[in-house]
Amino acid sequence: MPDGKNILVGITGGIAAYKICELIRMYKSSGANVKVVCTPNALNFVSILTLQTLSQNKVAFEQFEIGDFKPEHISYADEADVFVIAPATASTISKIANGIADNLLTSIAAAFNKPFVIAPAMNTNMWNNPFVQENLQKLAAQGYTIVPPESGFLACGTTGEGRLAALDKIFDTTVDILCGTKKFLSGKKIIVTAGGTVEDIDPVRFISNYSSGKTGCALADTAFRRGAETVLITTKNVQKPYKVVKVKSALEMQTALSEEFDDADYIFMSAAVADFRIKEFNPQKTKKTDSDTLTLELVKNPDILQYLCNKKTSSRPVIVGFCAETENLIENAKNKILKKGCDFIVANDVSRKDIGFSTDENEVYIINRNLDVKKVEKQSKLKIAEEIIKEVYEKSGNLCTHK
């Protein structure tokens, strides 16, 4: 992760500018220092106050200000380790490719001689314009990293190529440039489960939990960035550059895991799986009655973690369980790893309001089957995912596993 790195984010005047607020948050969560520079038109789509609040830095736009006897565009160029322009409009791309410096952003670009990432976003016809494509080719030939747009429904009402690339892709590209990400998981298959399962009561009601799936997605993103063949089995609607299997209930998740299990090297069971489901699903909406109470009969769901740990194969994957506790965290986690037979357990205290469910930060304990405990201090879930995968990868070879 880019701890302490300086990322300069350039925002130009396209409708996708609003998406960059989330990209800034992702960079900040990873430990980077972020500064933002905008073209004047960008501020028609996103406010200075929002960008300053998210980046925790002053936002630069049209004015030139002199600080420490150095022009502002030179100062920003010198400070940054990478310059990311997203969204990049056809106009800004063409200006940079031809050395035009008519605003603060393009002036910084003209002075910038370090890694440069450009993520275009525009109307399909503009994207396919031969002059725009020629300018992109010129930039790529000079070493600029282009994160191409995706196809889909565009703000102009048409469907086609031109939509800003997924933020995960822009983020991962930036991290790879800054950190030279080591692909130590190359050749490995990693399965990650994420989100809270949903157990239907009737067509409009269900039993579930507060799991957001953020930790699971962070684990899968990290595994993919580290070179693994990655499969994310999740209850959430997400788009990723790797295989995603969408499930709903505990039984569906068990089926999906069984289908991916045989050639897996690691399984991270971070999903919050419901312990019980409705015994008999009501195909019609359950009506209110005169009674003040309603009794639902529940039956146990299969213990998926136990099921996987008990599977008899010649080369069982390393299995990592997760437990969310409200009391006796370490004791309960140790009991669980002994009972289930998994290789690692990751435990966190969900009674705390500042970590856990639906937050962007967590604090966990990683316990292996020898009952060694490693505490990972409170930090972003992106960093937590890095720590978990690193610990499991480095320590699994020293454990008495089935591999």
How confident is the model at residue 353, as a pLDDT? 81
Tell the residue number behind the tokens 């890095």, with chain if given: 386
| Main-chain phi, psi angles of 134, to 5 degrees | -65, -40
What Cα–Cα distance (Å) separates residue 104 from each residue in 60, 88, 159?
A: 8, 15, 33
Distant-in-sequence, close-in-space partners of 140: CB < 8 Å, separation ≥ 6: 146
Q: How far is Cα 328 from Cα 338, in angstroms, rounded to an integer?
A: 16
Are 178 and 341 within 8 A, CB to CB?
no
From the list 21, 156, 179, 217, the catalytic residue is: 156
Residue at 212: amino acid letter: S
Q: Using CA of residue 135, residue 181, residue 389, residue 25, what is the dihedral sign? A: negative
How confident is the model at residue 30, as a pLDDT? 87
How confident is the model at residue 401, as a pLDDT? 44
Q: How far is Cα 193 from Cα 269, in angstroms, rounded to an integer?
A: 5
Instruction: From first to last of the 403 residues of the chain, give the pLDDT tens digit.
Output: 677 899 999 999 999 999 999 999 999 988 899 999 999 999 999 999 999 999 999 999 865 554 544 555 688 889 999 999 999 999 999 999 999 999 999 999 999 999 999 999 999 999 999 999 999 999 998 889 999 999 888 777 778 889 999 998 899 899 888 877 678 899 999 999 999 999 999 999 999 998 999 999 999 999 998 899 999 999 999 988 899 999 999 999 999 999 999 999 999 999 999 999 999 999 999 888 889 898 999 999 999 999 999 886 667 899 999 998 889 999 999 999 999 999 999 999 888 888 767 777 889 999 999 999 999 998 888 889 999 999 999 998 754 444 3
Are 236 and 244 within 8 A, CB to CB?
no
156 given a catalytic annotation: yes
For 278-316, give the DSSP string: ESS--SSPPPP-SSS-----EEEPP-HHHHHHH---TTP
Domains of the chain: 6-179 (3.40.50.1950), 189-286+294-397 (3.40.50.10300)
Q: Of 48, 55, 4, 11, whose CA–CA distance to 30 is shortest?
A: 4
Q: Which residues pair with 145 in a beta bridge?
A: 117
How confident is the model at residue 290, as a pLDDT? 87
Residue 58: DSSP 8-state: P
How confident is the model at residue 240, as a pLDDT? 87
User: How close are the terminal C-alpha atoms of the chain, in Å?
Assistant: 29
Distant-in-sequence, close-in-space partners of 133: CB < 8 Å, separation ≥ 6: 127
If one counts every other C-beta atom within 10 angstroms of the C-beta of residue 373, the result is 14
Are 273 and 253 within 8 A, CB to CB?
yes
Pairing of β 298-300 and β 66-67: unpaired
What 3-state class would DSSP assign to 275? coil
Q: pTM for this structure?
A: 0.72
If one counts every other C-beta atom within 10 angstroms of the C-beta of residue 20, the result is 29
Q: How far is Cα 325 from Cα 380, in angstroms, rounded to an integer?
A: 19
Helices and strands (DSSP H and E) totals, the chain? 13, 22
Tell the residue number behind the tokens 């003209």, with chain if given: 110
What 3-state class would DSSP assign to 213? coil
What Cα–Cα distance (Å) separates residue 259 from each residue in 157, 232, 233, 256, 312?
A: 39, 13, 11, 5, 15
